[in-house]
Each structure stands twice: as C-alpha cells, then as structure tokens.
Structure 1
Amino acid sequence: MDRIDAMRAFVTVVNEGTFTRAADRLEMSPQLVSKYVSQLEQHLGVRLLNRTTRKLHLTEAGRRYHQRAEQVLNDIDDLENQLGDLQSEARGLLRISAPVSFAIRHMAPLLTGFQKSHPAVDIDLQLNDRKVDIVEEGFDIALRIGHLKSSSLIAKRIAPVRLVTCASPAYLAEHGTPQRPEDLRDHRYLRYSYMDQDATGEVHRWLQGAETHSAGDMISNNGDVLVEAAIAGAGIAVQPTFIAGSAIREGKLRVILADHEPEPMALYAVYAHRQLLASKVRSFIDFLDGYFGDPPYWDRFG
C-alpha cells in the first residue's frame, strides 16, 4: 500500500461525500478508492468510516485523522510545487567556490549581472585556491583553473587561461632580458606554490630548479602578491594573464620568452551531476558560457 495514495483517497472520499465522486476526482475506479481506504484502516488498526447504502459517516478516529491528513497532503503539495519552481525558475541559494585572485579581479561584475537576470537567486561565494570537495562541502559549483584530470564530476570549459613569463622593465634593465629558457639560471624567480609543475612547460621547469638560478627567490600561494612583487622589480614570474594582464597593458610588466610560453590552462565550471540539475546551477553555467569573450578580455593587451 502506498500510504500517501491511501491517505489522499480517504481525504477525497470525505470531502466529496461518496466513493464515486472521489473516484471521478482522483481519476480511478470506485473499487480502487474503496480498496485504498480499507487498506488504510487495516494499517491504522481503526475504522475511519461507517458505510451505509446512502451515506458515509466519519468515526471519531476518522474525524481526527481527516483533519491531520488533509494538512499533511497540503504540505506535500506545497513542497512539491516549491521544488518544481526551483527547477523551472532560478531561485534559492547558489554556493560557489572560486580561486582567490580570479574572483577578486573578475567575478563581481559577473555575479552582479547574473543576479540582475535572476533576482531570485542568492549568492554565497567562497574564495579558496585549494581544491574543494564540492559534494562534501556543500557547493553547487566550483570554478577551477588548471588541467583537469578525469573524475566523477562534470566540468565545462569556460575560458582559456594563458600563462606568461614576465618581469618589470626596471628588473630587465638591471639584470638583462633572457632570450632562452636556459638564460633564467641567473635570475630570481617569483614562484606560485600551487603551480602545476608537469603542465607549465620549459620555462617553468627551468625556474623550478633551484640549482639553476641565483638566490633571492620568493614563493607564495597568491598570484597577486607575486605580480605586485614583479612590478616592484623583485624577479621573474610565470603568471596567468587574468592577473598580470592589466600590468602588461599599462607597461608595468613586460612579457619575455614569448616563443616558450607555457602550455595554456583553462577555467572550468565543475559541478556534481548532469541530470536533474537545479535551475539556479544550470542558469549560472549558461550565463558563464561566453561571458569572458574569445579571447578573454584580460588577454587584449597586444
């Protein structure tokens, strides 16, 4: 016995006054409606209705059960309608995890534009450069930058992420401009601690080898700090253009070793499921698609 169906059959019988009218309302046979009510009574161990040839009479137990059961069914209907709204209209709290520097520089206009298009969606943005577990930590979506390895998660590529080797004009004037990766042995390196060593190419591998270059390196888990240090003349950095692009455009940094540019990475939107995707998540992914341009606006520095 389906208890909800049996409960609905009983409530409809009481409200309609007869099994026949209840059957018409529920679009089932009177025999099935009667069977549901009998099964419900057997399950509860009490008689809910006294049946005569002319009329139905509620027992005391039936009156009490009818009142509460009607409220339960209304609550279920309300809940299902609300969940239906979540699928048909973007609403509710959207929890997003994003890299620190990327989010600070590029996500405020994106989120503002998204909420203008979807005003019923609330945003909870958490910034972290570590790889979060979106299921365990309760995120709807994570933005990740890198070369994604296979996993059970769904990943949509949003934009390319170009890596450049750069330094300030003052630093290059003082220490010289490297023409080949092996020239980096005599330079200071501003190293990002989360950099993927296997994927960034020849320049990064030269800079990674401590024995190949001079003392005075700097390491940080934040790219903005390293870019600002490079602008100040502290050394050479390999950084994504979404961080370094504005400084390059303004002449504060110069791209070097352009012919040995590290392998590009990408910005991905990562989420847990493809099926029955909540409208708020689906709408955000659709909004992200093409938002940054091709090439992305941070790469338009010539």
Structure 2
Amino acid sequence: MTKLPDLEAWAIFAAVAELRSFSGAAAALGLGKSTVSKAVSRLEAQLGQSLFHRTSRRLALTEAARPLAERAQRMVAEARGAEEIARDSATTTAGRVRLAAPMSFGALKVAPVLAAFLRAHPAVEVELHFSDARVDIVAEGYDLALRIADLEDSSLLARRLCGIPGHIVAAPAYLAQHGRPVHAGELGAHRLLGYTNRPGPWRLRGPGGAEVVVHATGPLSANSGDALVPALLAGLGIARLPGFIIGPHLASGALEAILPEWNPPPTALHLLTPPGNLRPARVEALIAWLARYLRD
C-alpha cells in the first residue's frame, strides 16, 4: 500500500524555507518551535537527505532542497486555493443543487416553484430528478429530496412540510354502472385501480376507529398516479389518489369522491437531506424556498 505524503511536514518545511527561520515559521503557523523542528527532521528522514544548512547565525537551503521548497510552496498555495473555493461555495448562493422529487407532485408543484427560485437566484443550477421510486439520496449524491410517505427511522434529516390528503374517487359513469359503495367493506367487490409504488392492500380507517383492509384488483395498476387518471375518467374503476393529482377533476365533476368518512391514512410531504448540519448556501437557499412555497 502506498504511504501517503506527510503534508503537514511539507507545509512546515515550505514556511521555514520561505522565512529562513524555525522560530519565524513557528510564529507564523501558530506552532511550537519544537513541533516545527520535529516536522522538518521527520521530512529529512523520509527523504534521506538534509534540507537546511544550520549555523548559529544562518539557516540556508541545501542545493537539493531548493527545488523541493518551490514544490512545497506550490502545494501550500494549491491547498489554500482549494480552501478558498470551498469557503466561497459554502457562503455564495451559486453552483449546482441536485434535487429528487416524486414524479407527479414534482411536475405539478415543484417545477413551478423552481422556476421562481431560479429567477431569484440566477447563479444557481438545479438538477431535478423525478421518480416515484424511493431514491437513496446519500448513495446517489443528491443534496435533498422531497418524499410523500410515512417515514421510517433513518439517518436522514427530515422536515415535514405539509399534509397530503388522499381521496377514494371514481367517475360518475362507473358509479352509475356498478353502484356507489356506502361502506369500505364493499370495495372488494369493485374494480380497483392500483398504485404499485405503494403495494399491498388498502388499509382504511372509518367512523369510530373501525378498520377495513381491501385487496385491490382491477384492470390497471401503474407506478404513476397520473397514469391511472385516464382510466378513472373512462369509468374503468375506483382509485385512491392524492388531492394534488385529482383535485381539478373533482372540482369539474369529472370525478367524485366516495366514502369520505373512509379516507386513506394521512401522509405528508417531507424534505429530506443527508446527515450533517453543514450545507452550502445554495442548498440552504433552496431548502428555505421549498419550505416556504410548498408548506401549504
């Protein structure tokens, strides 16, 4: 295994070479003189040669050390430049932010909010990824994610933005042909359209805390809530969908909410970030913007 260079010793050597003084380098670096001396001795031992001619009055670089001093000073300059770039990135609202969001909610609600954000922060670039699948934001390198779910315990930092109401809906034509269920227990006899990103039966809670479990079977299942809407409008079945997808169709009367006292369990929109409290200013700015405009 390749041994890493002793970068601390090289930085100390660069300071001594520049100032031609162990005590001067110690003062400039805020270190003890013995620490400086030991670092230079350590580097000399690693290189197998002396770096300085030492006398009681004068400290001079050896012939072999002169090109090494130039390289060491360049290394220190590069490191300082990297730190300056990092500090600028942390404090300047500029650069790229990677954001993951659910597909339907992202297109309907997040994209318009982002357009306003980008107008307000022209130096920021947002890479937006839509998916209803659960994204591993740490492994896939996202700065933040929006997720509509009941969250399990995790190392991610989560902030609840708002509740997401759900509705059980059908088209008037379906209800006219197949009848209107008056109790959640009757849903099992109907054609139910399924959302595959939330697999398993429908678990509904009704008046007095009663619970009903319904196994959804029907002509269509999809991993996108939007994909179920045309089948709903065509009268092909009943679906359980969030209000942000079917709200306009409820308002127009193209769909009707049924069994309102048996609404699906409440869920919420959460904003997730990787663990850790230090985030660049551009990420903090987007978090604040999303929290402000999506909380309702």
Q: TM-score range by the shorter chain?
A: 0.7 to 0.9
Alpha-carbon separation, structure 2, partners of 1:10 and 1:77: 16
2:146 is matched with: 143
Q: Find the residue that maps to 1:124 and give its secondary structure.
A: strand
The more displaced of 141-150 and 23-32 is 23-32
Alpha-carbon separation, structure 2, partners of 1:28 and 1:70: 18
Q: 2:155 aligns with which of 152, 156, 162?
A: 152
2:98 counterpart of 1:95: yes
Aligned CA-pair RMSD: 2.7
Q: Is the 8 A contact 1:189 1:207 kept in 2?
A: no
Q: 1:208 aligns with which of 201, 210, 215?
A: 215
Q: Is the 8 A contact 1:101 1:243 kept in 2?
A: yes
Structure 1: which 5+ runs fail to align?
Answer: 211-215, 295-302
Alpha-carbon separation, structure 2, partners of 1:17 and 1:268: 58
Counterpart amino acid of residue 215 in structure 2:
Q
Alpha-carbon separation, structure 1, partners of 2:25 and 2:81: 21
Using a 3 Å threshold, how does the CA distance of structure 1 residues 185 and 7 change in structure 2: closer, same or farther? closer
Report the alpha carbon displacement of residue 178 of structure 1 after superposing the two structures with TM. Answer: 2.6
Report the alpha carbon displacement of residue 50 of structure 1 after superposing the two structures with TM. Answer: 1.3
2:175 counterpart of 1:177: no
Report the alpha carbon displacement of residue 30 of structure 1 after superposing the two structures with TM. Answer: 4.4
Q: Find the residue that maps to 1:96 and give its secondary structure.
A: strand
1:188 is matched with: 191
Alpha-carbon separation, structure 1, partners of 2:177 and 2:170: 11
2:268 counterpart of 1:261: no
Counterpart amino acid of residue 84 in structure 2:
N
Q: Find the residue that maps to 2:79 and give its secondary structure.
A: helix
Report the alpha carbon displacement of residue 146 of structure 1 after superposing the two structures with TM. Answer: 1.7
Alpha-carbon separation, structure 2, partners of 1:109 and 1:9: 53
Using a 3 Å threshold, how does the CA distance of structure 1 residues 245 and 31 change in structure 2: closer, same or farther? same
Alpha-carbon separation, structure 1, partners of 2:200 and 2:212: 7
Q: Find the residue that maps to 1:110 and give its secondary structure.
A: helix
Q: Deviations over 1:207-248 (max 9, x none)?
A: 5255xxxxx532222110112221222221110111111222
Q: 2:74 aligns with which of 71, 76, 80?
A: 71
Q: 2:124 aligns with which of 121, 141, 152?
A: 121
1:297 is matched with: none
Q: Is the 8 A contact 1:13 1:21 kept in 2?
A: yes
Q: Deviations over 1:116-168 (max 9, x none)?
A: 44444322222222222222222232322221222233222122111101122
Q: Find the residue that maps to 1:42 and give its secondary structure.
A: helix
1:274 is matched with: 276
2:29 is matched with: 26
Q: Is the 8 A contact 1:162 1:241 kept in 2?
A: yes
Report the alpha carbon displacement of residue 286 of structure 1 after superposing the two structures with TM. Answer: 2.6
Q: 2:243 aligns with which of 241, 244, 254?
A: 241
Structure 2: which 5+ runs fail to align?
Answer: none
Report the alpha carbon displacement of residue 78 of structure 1 after superposing the two structures with TM. Answer: 1.3
Using a 3 Å threshold, how does the CA distance of structure 1 residues 209 and 34 change in structure 2: closer, same or farther? closer
2:254 counterpart of 1:252: yes
Using a 3 Å threshold, how does the CA distance of structure 1 residues 201 and 54 change in structure 2: closer, same or farther? same
Q: Is the 8 A contact 2:203 2:214 kept in 1?
A: no
Alpha-carbon separation, structure 2, partners of 1:26 and 1:64: 22
2:58 is matched with: 55
2:86 is matched with: 83
Using a 3 Å threshold, how does the CA distance of structure 1 residues 225 and 197 change in structure 2: closer, same or farther? same
Alpha-carbon separation, structure 2, partners of 1:199 and 1:174: 23
